Amino acid sequence: MNAPIRFWSDLSTADFAALNRERAIAVLPVAATEQHGPHLPLSVDTDIVDGVVAAALPHLPADLPALFLPTQAIGFSPEHTRFAGTLTLKAETLVRVWTEIGEAVAASGVKKLVLLNSHGGQVGALDLVARDLRARLGMLVYSISWFNLPLHDAAGTDVNALFSADEHRFGIHAGEIETSMMLALRPDLVRMDKAEYFRSTSQDRAERFATLGNGRSAKLGWMMQDYNPQGAVGNAAAATAENGRALLDAAGRALAQALAEIDRLSPDTLREQTAFN
C-alpha cells in the first residue's frame, strides 16, 4: 500500500478530484521571518513549524486525510523591525492573505482548516481569520499554536518539565526552548558561542508590580528591544539538541492527536440555527 500524500502541492489535479474532500483537513502552517538574537537565524519560526509538521507525519493514521498547505514564511513581526533582516506584513495584509487562502481551500471543496502557528506575535490574527471563515463560509477552522499544545512524550511525561517555570514565562523569544529546537533542526545555523542568558525586563516588572507584572492582567504593546536590546530573552546558553528533539517529537504527537480529534468531530459541531430562528 502506498503511503498517503500529505502535502497539498504534491497532489495532481486528478488526485485531488478523487479526494474525499468532505472529510479532508487542510493545514496551513504560518510562521515568520524575523531576528532571533545574535545566535539564531531569521528562519527560526519557519524551521520550527516545518519541524513540527515533519514530527507529526509518522503519527498520522494512514486513513486520516490531512493535507499540509505551503508554509507561510512571512508573518506579522513589527515588534522586531528595529533589527536588521526582519520581514513583516501589515496586520490587514496578513489577515487578508490567510483569509483568501482559506477561501481558496473552501472553493476547492475542503471545509476543514487548521491554522498551525509558530509565532507568538500573530496569535490574535489567527483568531480573526478563523472566526471570519466560520461566519462567512461555514468552515470548521481551528487555530493551533504549537507552544500551546499538550506536550508529552511516548510515555506520557510532560516535556515542558525539561524547562524551568521562569524560562516558560520569560524566555519567549530565542531563549532555551527555541534554541534547543534549532539545535535539533538546524545545528549548522546555531552560534552557541553567542548564546547567553538574555534577561528580560519583564522579569523586573514581575518583581515590582503585582498587576502589570503578573503576565495576565495587563499586556504591554512592545517592541523586542523593550525586553532586551540583543533581541532575545531567556537562557539560550542552556539549550541542548536532546531537549529540542524531545519538544519536537511531543509537538508532533500532539498535532497528530489534534487532527485525529478534528476528524472525529460530530457533523453538528457547527450550527446555523439558533434557539430563535
| Within-domain flag for 181 | yes
**213 domain residue, yes or no:** yes
Q: Determine, yes or no, domain membership for 276.
A: no
Interval 211-265: pLDDT, tens: 999 888 999 999 999 999 999 999 999 999 999 999 999 999 999 999 999 999 9
The rounded distance, in Å, linking the Cα atoms of 154 and 177 is: 20
Residue 205 has pLDDT above 90, yes or no: yes
- Tell me: the pLDDT tens digits for 136-168? 999 999 999 999 999 999 999 999 999 999 999
CA distance 162 to 20: 41
Here the cell at position 141 is: 477552522
pLDDT digits (tens, 9 = 90+) for 167-193: 999 999 999 999 999 999 999 999 999
**Does the residue 62 lie in any domain?**
yes
Q: What's the N-to-C CA distance of the chain in angstroms?
A: 49
The range of the structural domain enclosing residue 179 comes to: 8-269
pLDDT given for residue 134 in this prediction: 98
Produce one character per residue of 96-126: b if its CB has 16 or more CB atoms within 10 Å, e if not: ebbbebbeebbeeebbbbbbbbbbebbeebb
**Which pLDDT score, from 0 to 100, does residue 1 have?**
56
- Residue 3 forms part of a structural domain: no
Quick check: 209 pLDDT over 70? yes
Q: Is residue 91 part of a domain?
A: yes
1 assigned to some structural domain: no
- Measured at the CA of 94, the angle between CA 250 and CA 167, to 5 degrees, comes to 35
Name the nearest CA neighbour of 25 among 100, 98, 106, 95: 106
| pLDDT at position 14 | 97
φ and ψ at residue 142, rounded to 5 degrees: -115, 135
Number of domains in the chain: 1
Whether 274 maps to a domain, the answer reads no
Write down the pLDDT at residue 68.
99
Residue pLDDT, tens place only, 61-119? 999 999 999 999 999 999 999 999 999 999 999 999 999 999 999 999 999 999 999 99
Question: Is residue 31 within 8 Å of 45, Cβ to Cβ?
Answer: yes
Closest to 160 measured CA to CA, from 144, 173, 147:
147
Single-letter amino acid code for the residue at 143? S
CATH number at residue 260: 3.40.50.10310
